[in-house]
């Protein structure tokens, strides 16, 4: 099976890694729009144009499935993207909302980009206590390897929650930092893990990983090698 995944930068690589772990015998195409990262502050019209171009890229690659490995695009452009392609396309937020509906814990803290939080996609679809917080500093921290623990601690303090939803696919890279300030029984929800656990795909090719980024630099290479533990082909587009 040929699977295309995309995100604004390296965050979706966390999702790709989950796919490789569960389905190691497929062909993967990953598109990271590092030239335009972060997506979280951009207007919907810009996000839609960028994501339509990426969908067309995957159509040229003749993929069998497209994964929106981006919380921002999932929360703003998913419905429009489904209408412009015949390729099945899956967003990363819907499976997470369905998962949150089933768990017994009711106090949910969601970290996300400005665009995701402004959509209120979690609060509007859950009949639970949901606190949604914009965390615009997190993506630049990750992309540039500049972790500020004071900022992270401030976002986690003085709030009543027993579930932390990582509403951006970049954020799993900050889990070790998050855990320093979380109660032991806090459930951390990684959207990529939830998505992959809910899929039942074929697994019938030799593993091939093709990474396409709109801008490649040393920080990107560090992030790729930190996340992807298999041989890959890298191209700047």
For residue 114, what is the domain's CATH number?
A: 3.40.50.1860
User: Do 9 and 123 fall into the same domain?
Assistant: no
Q: Are residues 36 and 118 in the same domain?
A: no
Q: What is the pLDDT of residue 7?
A: 98
User: What is residue 210's predicted lDDT score, i.e. its pLDDT?
Assistant: 98
In the 8-state DSSP scheme, what is residue 209? E
Pair (82, 144) in one structural domain: no
Is residue 212 located within the same domain as residue 99? Answer: no
Q: For residue 202, is it left (φ>0), alpha (ψ between -120 and 50) or beta?
A: beta
Sign for the pseudo-dihedral over CA of 24, 30, 34, 37: negative
Q: Quick one: pLDDT at residue 133?
A: 96
Cβ neighbors of 170 (< 8 A, separation 6 or more) are 7, 9, 10, 11, 14, 138, 139, 142, 143
pLDDT at position 204, please? Answer: 87
Looking at the fold, whether 105 and 185 belong to one and the same domain comes out as yes
Beta bridge partners of 130: 108
Tell me how far apart the alpha carbons of residues 127 and 129 are, in angstroms, rounded to a whole number: 7
Same domain, 22 and 104: no
DSSP string covering 86-125: SS-EEESSHHHHHHHHHSS--EEEEEE-HHHHHHTTTGGG
Note whether 180 and 116 are same-domain residues: yes
Return the pLDDT at 205. 87
Same domain, 85 and 107: no
Last residue of a domain, one of 153, 169, 190: 190
Tell me the average confidence (pLDDT) per consecutive run of 10 residues in the chain, 237 residues long: 96 98 97 97 97 98 98 98 98 98 96 97 97 96 94 90 97 96 94 97 93 97 96 98
Does one domain contain both 81 and 116? no
Tokens read off for 58: 């995957």
Domain identity same for 15 and 86: yes
156 lies in the same domain as 80: no
Same domain, 202 and 142: no
Q: Which residues are designated catalytic?
A: 70, 168
pLDDT on residue 159: 80
Other Cβ atoms closer than 10 A to 23: 20
Domain carrying residue 37: 2-92+195-236
Contact 54, 83 (CB under 8 A): no
* Conformational region of residue 145, where left means phi above 0, alpha means psi within -120 to 50, and beta covers everything else: left
Which pLDDT does position 223 carry in this prediction?
A: 95
The number of folded domains in the chain is 2
């Amino acid at each position: 099976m040929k699977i295309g995944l995309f995100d604004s930068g390296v965050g979706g690589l966390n999702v790709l890694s989950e796919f490789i772990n569960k389905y190691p015998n497929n062909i993967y195409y990953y598109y990271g729009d590092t030239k335009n990262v972060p997506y979280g502050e951009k207007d919907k019209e810009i996000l839609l144009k960028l994501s339509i171009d990426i969908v067309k890229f995957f159509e040229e690659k003749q993929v069998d499935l497209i994964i929106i490995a981006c919380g921002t695009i999932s929360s703003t452009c998913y419905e429009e993207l489904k209408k412009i392609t015949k390729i099945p396309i899956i967003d990363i937020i819907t499976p997470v909302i369905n998962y949150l509906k089933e768990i017994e814990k009711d106090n949910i803290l969601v970290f996300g980009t400005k665009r995701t939080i402004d959509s209120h996609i979690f609060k509007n679809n859950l009949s639970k206590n949901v606190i949604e917080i914009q965390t615009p500093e997190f993506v630049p921290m990750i992309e540039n390897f500049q972790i500020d623990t004071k900022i992270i601690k401030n976002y986690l303090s003085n709030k009543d929650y027993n579930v932390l939803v990582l509403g951006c696919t970049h954020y799993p890279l900050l889990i070790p930092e998050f855990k320093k300030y979380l109660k032991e029984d806090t459930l951390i929800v990684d959207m990529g893990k939830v998505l992959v656990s809910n899929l039942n795909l074929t697994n019938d090719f030799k593993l091939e990983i093709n990474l396409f980024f709109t801008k490649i630099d040393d920080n990107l290479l560090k992030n790729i090698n930190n996340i992807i533990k298999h041989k890959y082909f890298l191209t700047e587009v």
